[in-house]
Amino acid sequence: MHNGLSEINSYPEVQEVYRITGPSNIHMRVVLRDQLHLQQFIDKLIKYGNPTTHLILSEIKKK
C-alpha cells in the first residue's frame, strides 16, 4: 500500500480501507471504544498527514 500505509492492516480497529478520490486519498471505517481510543488512534495516523474524522450519529437507510 502507498506511503507505508500497509501498517494499517495491523490495527485491529480498522474494519475497511478504501482508496478514494478527492482531498483525502484513503477512507477507513474503524470501530473504537470511546473518545480516548479515538484520540489514541488519531495519534497513530498523524505520521501520514492530518487525519479527519466523521462520526456516524444514526442510521437512516440500510440495504
pLDDT digit string, tens, across residues 35-54? 999 999 999 988 888 889 98
Positive or negative: CA dihedral 21, 5, 13, 42: negative
Average pLDDT of span 25-35: 92
Measuring CA to CA, how many Å separate 24 from each of 1, 19, 28, 59? 15, 9, 11, 24
Average pLDDT of span 21-38: 91
Q: Which residue carries 492492516 as its cell?
A: 9
pLDDT (0 to 100) of residue 3: 57
Question: In terms of Cα–Cα distance, which of 5, 12, 15 is closest to 45?
Answer: 5
pLDDT beyond 60 at 1: no
CA 24 – CA 35 distance, rounded (Å): 22
